[in-house]
Amino acid sequence: MEAGKDKFVEKLLEEISAVKVVLDDFSKAVFGVFGEIRASISELRNVLNEVRQATTGLTVSLTKMDEILNSVRRVEGLLAGKSKETIATVEGVSPVQPQHLIEGTIAVRSFGVRVSPAFSQVVEALERSRPAEDIARALEEARDQLQSRVHGPIFYEISQLIKQLRASGTAKLDIKTAEEIMGKLEEWSERIKR
């Protein structure tokens, strides 16, 4: 009977060993699955953070776009309430008028200045509230036309303004900036005539 007990114990030990092997394999598989789940959760967190950042950036962009639209509406309201001749008048200061007429200049009524015909495309772009890059392109054409007569500081100043306008891209200029550019055009026209 002891031989039967020994066989029974031996068989039982073999079955326990087999169960242990199966449980070891099962625990390895479970740990592998948990590792994959942890990695997936980590990836999901990263994606969620990226989505949050993107939505925050989108919210900021939409806020800036709203600000731009509100500014455009304010400018449209100002333009609708004033005629082109009075746009240059700011708080009782009348627009700059040349003391004498210069031969070869064109009148620009909306800004109250006179400029060289070479700048006529620039003036037109400013009056039509074209994007900064269009104004830069027109100014570049004017500079190229004047290249034989323009030297030194004027050529440099025009090139610097072109660079600044290009940096603004498709943005439209506000009235104050347009008036400043018109003032520069008038100043350059005066200096070119000398």
Last residue of a domain, one of 81, 101, 136: 81
Q: What is the pLDDT of residues 142-194, one digit of tens each?
A: 988 888 777 788 888 999 999 999 998 898 888 888 889 999 998 888 888 76
Q: Are 99 and 184 members of one domain?
A: yes
The answer to whether residues 135 and 169 touch, using CB atoms and an 8 Å cutoff, is no
Of the pLDDT bands very low, low, confident and very high (cuts 50, 70, 90), residue 102 is very low
pLDDT at residue number 132: 92
Residue 161 region by backbone torsions, left for phi larger than 0, else alpha for psi between -120 and 50, else beta: alpha
The answer to whether residues 147 and 164 touch, using CB atoms and an 8 Å cutoff, is no
Q: Name 86's Cβ contacts closer than 8 Å, sequence gap at least 6.
A: none
CATH code at position 112: 1.20.120
- Compute φ and ψ for 184, nearest 5 degrees: -65, -40
pTM comes to 0.43
Distance CA 144, CA 162 (A): 12
- Tell me which residue range forms the domain holding 161: 84-193
pLDDT of 96 over the 50 cut: no
Q: Are 66 and 93 members of one domain?
A: no
pLDDT of 123 over the 80 cut: yes
CA-based Rg of the chain, rounded to a whole angstrom?
38
Last residue of a domain, one of 81, 107, 136: 81
- CB atoms under 10 Å from CB of 163, counted, come to 10
Percent of the chain with pLDDT over 70: 76
pLDDT of 135 over the 90 cut: yes
Last residue of a domain, one of 46, 81, 116: 81
Averaged pLDDT of the chain: 77
Q: How many domains does the chain have?
A: 2
pLDDT at residue number 137: 95
pLDDT at residue number 50: 80
Distance CA 35, CA 128 (A): 64
Q: Are 47 and 105 members of one domain?
A: no
Q: Comparing C-alpha atoms, which of 124, 97, 125, 126 is closest to residue 112?
A: 97
Q: Are 33 and 107 members of one domain?
A: no
Q: Are 184 and 89 members of one domain?
A: yes
pLDDT at residue number 108: 46
